[in-house]
Amino acid sequence: MDGGAPQLRPFRFNTRQRVKKVGTVTFVNGDGASLELPKIGLLSRLWIVLELDATFSSAGTYGNYGVWAAIKRVKLQLNNAAQDLVDVSGFGLFLMNNLQRKVNKFDETAGLDSALYAAPTTTGAMKIALEVPVNQSNGFNFEAGMINLQAPEVQMTLNLTFASANSDIASNITALSGTAHVYYEYYEVPDPTAVMIPPVILHKVIEQQQSFSATGEVVYTVPRAGKISRLIQILNVDALRSDAYDSVKLKLQQSDTVYDREKRLVKFQHRENYGVAAQTGVIVTDMSQAYGICEESDGRDFFDSERTTTMESIVTVTSGTTLGSSNNTLVTIREFIQVPTN
């Protein structure tokens, strides 16, 4: 008697997690370097640990994005840049990491391992550590967004671009030298005739920047791509991060206001969700908290931007704020999932 197709076993309990080093990249100001990932396993995330020796002529002062400015851009690209899975600044990736776990702030000085973070103001070691997310989360949704590196048509490349000049990081730095160490986590690919392979879903983190020249409403129009799970916005006034805003709104079709939050509530929700205070100028709109756990959601609150004609995040800059000349920006980091069309 034909029993039909065999019952496939769940992937979660029929694979093995592995962590290995991909390689190293030498730090050079303004330079970019690429690492091609090994064609082994289902990729779930990477880590970058940047270790530098910094020489200061005198006590230095860090710039707007602190020591994280040492990495100007992180890009994780599929098939010769045909798809960007991650395209974000070092500081933007640091903010993203802060939202991935409860009380996960990698710039705290008290009790932090100096192997992960060091921001000297005189000659000494400078260090930062960043996680590059590939799958949607490492909990309930760990299967969503994995990339099968073993597929013959897949080529995955990590591109790092370092700060153009030492002064982009801090004042009075006369020399920087060191290395970025890159590691990756992947899961073994089981027998597809016996085990369910994770669905092909792309998890993306993309950063954009826009300028503004007046107080009042600054409108970011969300591109129509995928289901939006989170927006992280950074308000810069006169080239410095600023809390000079009154509220943030999420609006659909230019008339349906879904979220309307004053700054006091934005700050409260940040502390409530992540257990730490929001950094100056940082505004988070998080739709990935359906289970009350960072990043863990069944998609209940996601917004399908492809089914919405217009989706806008509107930050109201406080009236009377002194603006700079051509250096006022709103940076938006958009996290979303997308099913590829081919």
Question: Residue 49: what pLDDT?
Answer: 96
Average pLDDT of the residues in 151-167? 95
Q: What is the pLDDT of residues 55-68, one digit of tens each?
A: 999 999 999 999 99
Task: Measure the CA–CA gap between 324 and 162, rounded to whole angstroms.
Answer: 26
Among 266-270, 275-279, 280-284, 338-342, name the one with the lowest average pLDDT.
338-342
149: its two tokens: 């590196």
Question: Residue 112: what pLDDT?
Answer: 67
- Which helix (H) or strand (E) is 175 found in, with range? strand 173-187
Question: Residue 31: what pLDDT?
Answer: 84
DSSP code for 68:
G
Average pLDDT of the residues in 238-260? 96
Bridge-based pairing state of the strands 245-252 and 256-262: antiparallel
Q: What is the pLDDT of residues 81-131, one digit of tens each?
A: 788 999 999 999 999 998 987 666 666 655 567 788 999 999 999 999 999
Question: Residue 264: what pLDDT?
Answer: 98
Are residues 12 and 120 in contact, defined by beta-carbon separation less than 8 angstroms? no
Task: Measure the CA–CA gap between 54 and 242, rounded to whole angstroms.
Answer: 28
Q: Is 254 left (phi over 0), alpha (psi -120 to 50) or beta?
A: left
Question: Residue 137: what pLDDT?
Answer: 87
Task: Measure the CA–CA gap between 139 and 10, rounded to whole angstroms.
Answer: 15
Task: Measure the CA–CA gap between 137 and 313, rounded to whole angstroms.
Answer: 24
Question: Residue 1: what pLDDT?
Answer: 47
Backbone φ and ψ of 149, nearest 5°? -70, -20
Most confident of 1-5, 302-306, 326-330: 326-330
Nearest alpha carbon to residue 299 among 267, 246, 269, 337: 337
Does residue 15 surpass a pLDDT of 90?
A: yes
Q: Which domains does the chain have, with CATH numbers?
A: 17-187 (2.70.9.30), 202-338 (2.60.120.20)
Work out the mean pLDDT of the chain and round it to a whole number.
93
